[in-house]
């Protein structure tokens, strides 16, 4: 007899007290999954604790209570609020990710190996536009986050939406899997749907509801329950190129492998390259592109190869990478931030892959050897 597991996806319309949200549960057993009809609720407040409390109350405590839930938030939510939500619910992501997953069959069956999605949120006070592209690479979907546009004033016409939101970051030749509009046609400039259909004639342009977003959110959490080491939902960001550290001998040791899913935390132990070395310089590269450096001074002077230097890279859901370099056994450490590996362009990624396939990359993975850092 197969075991049934149940999860819930919640789509937040806004992060504000009294704002409506939609909830959809998904149950899976024996390879089959069933999505429930969506229900609605309202938030008791705008803090993460109030949001989780409101959602938990809506879920209830019955025998079929979901074991975990995900939160899909508006694409225009500020970074600090995104982080606050993810601190209380690690399965949190934006509306665009949910919509991509709602279209999983269309995305997975694409002939081109590349898909582009647009999401336009016209909710007053949070008008924003986001584009995301994904490319099938050796069986894995590499998602390339694109620039977001946020406006303080709502466009008054269909032309305004296109000229202020879409045109600044979307090349005219871009082909899209879908352009999703939110929240409803009633609050949008007249003729917007038709204007977008005319500009992108081979693209599905449609209004998406909060209920549809919650269904996409449910699919995400069902594919990656909390604690899982793998991310299977489309829209999860992965490292398009590896993050490396340049050693004293000129070689580059891989600290974070290519295709690692975010969020992720990786550590590597290195050492000194000279006797009585009192500082180490840790140079980082994204693929082959410099990504920043950290100099740790005040190292205990000892014979080379004796001191142990721990380098830890902590990457959040959107690739922000905080690095800690510390001398093991002491309180001597330094913390800095790298250029996000997700800032790597598609051209840089393709160039690295070509060099990798030709055996021309410098990055190496250390075995029992401890790499030595320059002063």
> Which pLDDT score is estimated for 226?
62
**Comparison of pLDDT for 213 and 339, the residue scoring more:** 213
Three-class DSSP category at 174: coil
Lowest mean pLDDT among 3-12, 143-152, 236-245: 143-152
Q: Residue 56 corresponds to which tokens in the numbers above?
A: 């938990």
> Which pLDDT score is estimated for 3?
74
Torsion of CA 48, 49, 50, 56, to 10 degrees: 110
Predicted model pTM = 0.72
Give me the mean pLDDT over the 273-293 stretch.
93
Task: Single out the residue of 200, 126, 121, 221 nearest to residue 161, CA to CA.
Answer: 121
Alpha-carbon gap, residue 133 to 184, rounded angstroms: 24
What is the per-residue pLDDT across 192-228, written as a single tens digit (0 to 9) for each?
999 999 988 888 899 999 999 999 999 888 876 566 5
pLDDT over threshold 50, residue 52:
yes
How does the average pLDDT of the chain come out, rounded?
Answer: 84
What is the per-residue pLDDT across 171-185, written as a single tens digit (0 to 9) for each?
777 778 889 999 998
What is the per-residue pLDDT across 356-374, written as a single tens digit (0 to 9) for each?
777 666 565 555 567 889 9
What structural domains does the chain harbor?
Answer: 5-223 (3.30.420.40), 243-373 (2.60.34.10)
**Comparison of pLDDT for 328 and 61, the residue scoring more:** 328
Q: Residue 113 corresponds to which tokens in the numbers above?
A: 């190996």
Using a pLDDT cut of 90, give the percent of the chain over it. 42
Alpha-carbon gap, residue 143 to 182, rounded angstroms: 22
């Amino acid at each position: 007899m197969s075991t049934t597991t149940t999860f819930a996806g919640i789509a937040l319309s806004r992060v504000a007290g009294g704002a409506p949200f939609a909830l959809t549960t998904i149950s899976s057993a024996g390879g089959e999954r069933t999505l429930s009809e969506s229900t609605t609720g309202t938030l008791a407040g705008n803090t993460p604790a109030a949001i989780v409390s409101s959602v938990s109350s809506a879920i209830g405590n019955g025998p079929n209570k979901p074991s975990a839930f995900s939160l899909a938030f508006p694409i225009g939510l500020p970074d600090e609020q995104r982080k606050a939500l993810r601190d209380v619910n690690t399965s949190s992501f934006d509306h665009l990710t949910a919509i991509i997953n709602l279209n999983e069959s269309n995305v997975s069956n694409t002939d081109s190996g590349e898909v582009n999605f647009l999401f336009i949120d016209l909710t007053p006070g949070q008008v924003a536009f986001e584009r995301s592209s994904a490319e099938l690479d050796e069986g894995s979907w590499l998602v390339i986050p694109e620039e977001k546009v946020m406006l303080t004033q709502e466009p008054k016409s269909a032309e305004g939406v296109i000229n202020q939101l879409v045109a600044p970051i979307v090349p005219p030749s871009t082909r899209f899997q879908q352009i999703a509009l939110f929240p409803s046609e009633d609050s949008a400039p007249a003729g917007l749907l038709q204007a977008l259909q005319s500009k992108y004639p081979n693209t599905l342009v449609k209004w998406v509801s909060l209920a549809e977003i919650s269904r996409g959110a449910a699919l995400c959490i069902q594919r990656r329950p909390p604690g899982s080491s793998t991310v299977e939902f489309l829209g999860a960001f992965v490292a398009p190129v590896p993050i490396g550290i340049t050693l004293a001998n000129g070689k580059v040791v891989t600290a974070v492998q290519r295709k690692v899913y975010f969020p992720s935390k990786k550590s590597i132990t290195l050492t000194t390259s000279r006797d009585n070395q009192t500082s180490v310089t840790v140079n980082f590269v994204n693929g082959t592109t410099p990504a920043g450096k950290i100099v740790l001074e005040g190292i205990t002077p000892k014979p080379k190869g004796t001191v142990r230097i721990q380098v830890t890279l902590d990457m959040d859901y959107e690739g922000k990478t905080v690095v800690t370099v510390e001398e093991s056994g002491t309180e001597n450490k330094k913390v800095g931030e790298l250029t996000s590996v997700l800032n790597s362009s598609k051209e840089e990624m393709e160039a690295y892959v070509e060099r990798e396939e030709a055996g021309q990359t410098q990055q190496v993975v250390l075995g029992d050897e401890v790499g030595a850092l320059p002063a």
